[in-house]
Amino acid sequence: MIDGSLPSDAASSGPPGLLEVEHLGVSAGSRKILDDVTLSLPDRTVSAVLGPSGCGKTTFIRCLNRMVELSPALKIVGSVRLLGRDLYDREVDPALVRRRIGMVFQRPTVFPQSIFENAAFGLRLVHADEDEVDRSVMDALKRAGLWDEVHDDLDRSALALSGGQQQRLCIARALAVKPRVLLLDEPTSSLDPHGTQRIEATVRHLKEEIAVVIVTHNVGQAARISDRVAFFHAGRVVEVGATPDILERPREALTEQFITGRFT
Amino acid sequence: MSAVPASGWADWFSPTELVRFRRRHLVDRWIGRLVPIVFLVAIVPILDLIFWISQRALPTLTWTTLTTNPTGNAGGLYGPIVGTVDLLLLGLAIAVPLGIVSGLSSAIFLPFRWGEVVRGAGDLLVGLPSVILGYFGYFALVIYFGWGASLLAGGVTLGFFMFPYIARASDQAFSSVPPDLKDAALGAGARLRQYARRVAFPIALPQILSGIFLAAAIGIGETAPLLWTALFSSYPPTTLSQPTGYLTGLIWNYYDEPLTFGTEVTLAFQAAFLLIVIVVVMNVIVRLYAERSRKKLEGLYG
Amino acid sequence: MSSPLSPPEPPARPRFRWAQVPPLLAAAFPVALLIGIVVTLAVAGLGFGWLLNPSVNWNPSTGDPSQASFGILVFVVGSFVTALPALVLVLLLSLAIGAATALYLPRRVSLLLNGFVDLLAGIPSVVYGIWGFWIVAPVFGTTLNPWINTHLGFVPGLGGPVPSTGIGIPLAIFVLTLMALPLTAVLVRESLLAVPVAYREAGLALGATRYEVFRRILLPFARRRIGGAALLGFGRALGETVAVFMVIGDATKLPFNFFDLSFTVPGVLVGQFDSAFIQPNYLAALAQLGLVLLAFSLVINVGGRWLVGRVGRGGIAMPEAA
Ligand SMILES: Nc1ncnc2c1ncn2[C@@H]1O[C@H](COP(=O)(O)OP(=O)(O)O)[C@@H](O)[C@H]1O
Ligand SMILES: [Mg+2]
């Protein structure tokens, strides 16, 4: 039941993506941060949200699990559907949305607890039984590619880990509650090349089971790990398509300028 | 907050998780509703205090109350009002320059470690029970210095009392000047001293003024530091060496007199009323002023 | 003097300037004042050797001063039985205020409500005293204390006689709670708000409710500072002088039960100083007691400040997460 395979999965094959974003707009006062964004994010795929700093990438993925509502100043229009179900429906509680659509932030946010307790954080919220917690934590640490490094000292403080390990622990923590979609907001921007490489390897594995949406302003990273790219500029989607198509044969001038580094 | 999810979610979560979620959601919602009630613990006493003290003070509070001296079991508040002002001014005359310069030094001139020592000592002074300062004032100033119980001894003790508040405000004000300005000024060849006076001081001033106001508001309400240094008097002081009355002292001396013989208790309530008005007004001014200057400061950063 | 071609001179050591003296003296002043206070109380208090003893026998003015006994147990007990319950109340209230501010209330509302809490700090001690003595005491004496006594009388300490004036330990706890609340509330509030928004968001992103974010993230992160805030609030309550003196009844005996009159250390310092003027060993004993209180206060404040560390400037930081 909570293993992440949703019953309607089989039915929704093909074009209708796992997450459907339609006419999404976000504004702060009179200023539009996102304007009429329509996107389809398929299952078992890494989708990269690419674009220059300040173009609304963070705001966009925060819309996908209603984190955006934590900023009271922002007004949101349009719809986001997970398997056809509108996430912004009044009947839907954001806390439940976030248990199926997990999120990892720019900087690692490990809590001042042991590695194990960090990974178990989301499970403890629902008082899952100990065996289940043990199994889920192990599974999540493996999927996040951290198990081999930490399985001997799960009781050590998570703060003792390196930045890259901490970020993978955050991924494990998000995975432990078995989300259907994982959102990553520039997860490597605070990491060194080695840490970045490990995260990228982890992300490539994750898509075997779930959908991943990763924000990056790094064209190389998008090329290395994503299957699809959506290029954002000034709050709008400029173009979207398979990664090689977008990065090698962009149709739009803005996209080409960005990926060739001639961006102004 | 949206409603607890309906059955439409059954296929996304296990039944146990849904049940538990419903419970967690309700706990959160009720805590969110109940917790703000704690503010009543602050609001009710404040309103009760203001209401009842006004109720006891106002019916017989007249212009004469403010312009005649207390006389045994009748009279007004004139002497203590003047004494309060005199003590406060004398205290500020000591605490303001000393506090500003002390904060300036700890924030700008001294190396960080020494600044921490100065700030730590200031924090300890703020944390001292005020009766300790009263003892200090009595033994050191009244006895050892031989000043006797006087306006001078009371004012200086009150100055010592207010000093750490002003020093702390000044330290924080100077510390919160954007560091780029310091680099820019020193980079342009200014001396530290010139930077402090020409650049940092104007920026820090509003915050320092708030601190002075706050210190004065706290100082005006103090009793214990003055009881044996200024002692008490019903008449306005005419020299620095005379004992001096003050509003808090009047309350202290009169609050438990019997109700049947005179108006002392009413006079004490009237003194309390004046103090509340002064303190509340000063607090509101500081708040509004701080809000305004904070905005200005943000403009500077932005 | 140096030619343009000679190597640059090493930077001169900062020269002594007279202009540096006043700022340095002012900076040294807090330390000097602190030392001055300690030395003065020591000089005033230690002229007759050590006078205090840990008994309940406080009997300073016998016909023969050499027969006087300065047992301080009554005051110490009185201080703790009032300050400790006040501390518990203050801590619970502060946590609730902090949670409401950090998680539940919109910024504007919480600014207004916290304004009232801050205002509590502005009311002069002696005003709390006269209000407690005349206005609140009757409510305690005729309503609250008898009610507790009737319904919870089976609890040890809550049974037995109840003075009808309302003066006594419960009223002192009440007044102390109001007086110590603002400081602790501000510190707790700021330590909760100082937990980086990223951590709250991390919790919310895992599907935690706001309450769970408070319990499992804010509290553990801010634990140390909250402990410091509690300690500082305790110091405030232990040192509070005038108001407690006015509402506690000033009985030089151990309290019979929770509703009884009592006396505190600062209370006896402020209340008996006048009587001690003419009797040197009495005055010295009070100065010694002042020294004890001073030492206590210093220890508690050093500990509290150390735990709290330096929380940013005052005011309410902006909580991003609602
Ligand atoms: N809560 C907010 N209120 C007002 N403006 C905001 C808010 N959040 C983001 N913005 C603005 O929206 C724009 C896009 O921000 P963001 O989504 O963080 O961009 P990116 O992640 O692509 O760098 C920025 O110009 C930012 O200033
Ligand atoms: Mg961003």
Question: Quick check: is A116 in a domain?
Answer: yes
Distance of CA A80 to the CA centre of its chain: 15
The CB-side HSE value for C308 (13 A sphere, CA atoms) comes to 26
Q: By CA distance, what is B3's nearest residue in A?
A: A91
CATH level 2 (architecture), domain C67-314: Orthogonal Bundle (1.10)
CB of C155 closer than 8 Å to CB of C67: no
Contacts of C132-136 with C-beta under 8 Å, sequence gap 24+, read C132/C171, C132/C174, C132/C175, C132/C243, C132/C246, C132/C247, C133/B255, C133/B256, C133/C167, C133/C246, C133/C247, C134/B56, C134/B255, C134/B265, C134/B269, C135/B48, C135/B49, C135/B52, C135/B53, C136/C166, C136/C171, C136/C174, C136/C175, C136/C247
Question: Residue range A49-55: average pLDDT?
Answer: 93
Q: How far is the CA of A103 from the centre of ligand 1 (A)?
A: 18
Contacts of B19 in chain A (CB under 8 A): none
Q: pLDDT band for position C170 (50/70/90)?
A: very high
Instruction: Provide the residue ranges of all domains of chain C, joining segments of one domain with +.
Output: 67-314
Q: Is A67 close to C198, i.e. CB distance below 8 A?
A: no
More confident residue, B254 or C315: B254
C212 CB neighbours in chain A (<8 A) are 125
Whole-angstrom CA distances from B61 to A4, B78, C195 are: 75, 12, 50
Give me the sign of the Cα torsion angle B122, B123, B126, B129. negative
Write out chain C residues lying below 8 Å of B121, CB-based: 30-31, 33-34
Residue C16 pLDDT greater than 70, yes or no: no
- How much is the mean pLDDT over chain C? 90
Residue in B46, B251, B246, B289 with CA at minimum distance from that of residue C123: B46
Does the pLDDT value for residue B62 go beyond 60?
Answer: yes
Buried b (16+ CB within 10 A) or exposed e, A7-34: eeeeeeeeeebbbbbeebbbbeeeebbb
- What average pLDDT score do residues A180-204 get? 94
pLDDT at A8 over 90: no
Residue nearest to atom 1 of ligand 1 (CA): A71
Rounded CA-CA distance B247/A77 in Å is 61
Q: Specify the pLDDT at position A4.
A: 43
Query: What angle, 0 to 180 degrees and rounded to 10, lies between the N-to-C axes of helices A193-206 and A163-176?
Result: 20
User: How many domains are there within chain B?
Assistant: 2
Counting ligands in written order, which one lies closest to the CA of residue A56? Answer: 1
The answer to whether position A225 is within a domain reads yes
What residue's CA is closest to ligand 1, atom 9?
Answer: A59
Express each pLDDT in B122-170 by its tens digit.
999 999 999 999 999 999 999 999 999 999 999 999 999 999 999 999 9
| pLDDT at residue C307 is higher than 90 | yes
Q: What is the mean pLDDT of chain A?
A: 90
Q: How far apart are CA B218 and CA B99, in angstroms?
A: 15
Question: What would the two tokens of residue C311 be?
Answer: 């929380």
Task: Kindly tell me the burial class for residue A253, based on how many C-beta atoms sit within 10 Å of its own C-beta (0-12, 13-18, 19 or more).
Answer: exposed
Q: Which of B131-135, B173-177, C125-129 has the least mean pLDDT? A: B173-177
CB contact under 8 A, C100 and B41: no
Q: Are residues B127 and B263 in the same domain?
A: yes
Report how many domains make up chain A.
1
Residue B19 has a pLDDT of 85
pLDDT at B263: 86
Contacts of residue A125 in chain B, CB cutoff 8 Å?
24
Radius of gyration of chain A (CA): 18
- Asked whether residue A13 carries a pLDDT value surpassing 50, the answer given is no
The answer to whether residue B52 sits within a structural domain is: no
Residue B109: DSSP 8-state: I
CA distances C183 to A227, B58, C94, Å, are 56, 31, 9
Q: Are residues B20 and B97 in the same domain?
A: no
SS3 (DSSP) at A23 = strand
Residue owning the nearest CA to atom 5 of ligand 1: A28
pLDDT tens digits, B263-293: 889 999 999 999 999 999 998 888 888 777 7
For residues B223 and B131, give the distance between their C-alpha atoms in angstroms, rounded to a whole number. Answer: 8
Task: Nearest chain B residue to A8 by CA: give it.
Answer: B11
Distance from the Cα of residue A213 to its chain's centroid:
4
Domain of B178: which CATH number?
1.10.3720.10
Flag whether pLDDT at A11 surpasses 60: no
* pTM summary value: 0.89
pLDDT-derived band at A202, boundaries 50, 70, 90: very high
Residue C319: pLDDT band (50, 70, 90) is: very low
Here the CATH number for the domain that contains residue A177 is 3.40.50.300
Coil, helix or strand at residue C71 = strand
Give dist(CA A48, CA A29) in Å, integer: 28
Other beta carbons within 10 angstroms of residue B123's beta carbon come to 19
User: How much of chain C exceeds pLDDT 70, in percent?
Assistant: 91
Q: How far is the CA of A53 from the centre of ligand 2 (A)?
A: 7
Give the domain range for residue A214: 43-57+94-259
Is residue A11 included in any domain, yes or no?
no
The percent of residues above 90 in pLDDT, for chain C, comes to 82
At residue B302, the pLDDT reads 40
Q: Which residue of C has its CA nearest to A63?
A: C205
Residues facing residue A241 across a β-bridge: A229
State the distance from the centre of ligand 1 to the C-alpha of A68, rounded, in angstroms: 11
Helix (H) and strand (E) counts for chain A? 10, 10
pLDDT, tens only, C250-299: 999 999 999 999 999 999 999 999 999 889 999 999 999 999 999 999 99
What is the C-alpha separation between C1 and B291, in angstroms, rounded? 54
Average pLDDT for A141-158: 94
The answer to whether residue A33 sits within a structural domain is no
- Nearest atom of ligand 1 to the alpha carbon of A186: 21
Structural domain containing residue B265: 63-301
CA B159 to chain centre: 13
Q: Per-residue pLDDT averaged across C44-57, rounded?
A: 94
Instruction: Spell out the alpha helix ranges (H) of chain B.
Output: 15-34, 39-57, 63-67, 78-104, 112-127, 130-136, 151-175, 179-187, 192-194, 201-220, 247-254, 264-301
Count other Cβ atoms within 10 Å, centred on residue B59.
9
Considering only CA atoms, which of C54, C127, C72 is closest in space to residue C269?
C72
Most confident of B255-269, C4-18, C30-44: C30-44
Determine which of A133-147, B195-209, B215-229, C134-148 has the lowest per-residue pLDDT on average: B195-209
- Kindly state whether residue A77 falls inside one of the protein's structural domains: no
Residues with CB under 6 A from ligand 1: A 28, 33, 51, 53-59, 71, 73-74
C36: amino acid identity, one letter: G
Task: Compute the distance from residue A185 Cα to the ligand 2 centre, in Å.
Answer: 7
Q: How far is the CA of A95 from the centre of ligand 1 (A)?
A: 23
ipTM rounded to 2 decimals: 0.92
- Rounded to an integer, the average pLDDT of B47-76 is 93
Q: Is A11 on the interface with B (CB under 8 A)?
A: no
User: Burial letters for C23-54: b for 16+ Cβ neighbours within 10 Å, e otherwise?
Assistant: beebbbbbbebbeebbebbeebbeeeeebbee
Q: How confident is the model at residue C14 (pLDDT cuts 50, 70, 90)?
A: low
Chain C interface, mutation test: which of A96, A100, A125, A180, most C Cβ atoms within 10 Å? A125
Q: Is A1–B14 a contact, with Cβ atoms under 8 angstroms apart?
A: yes
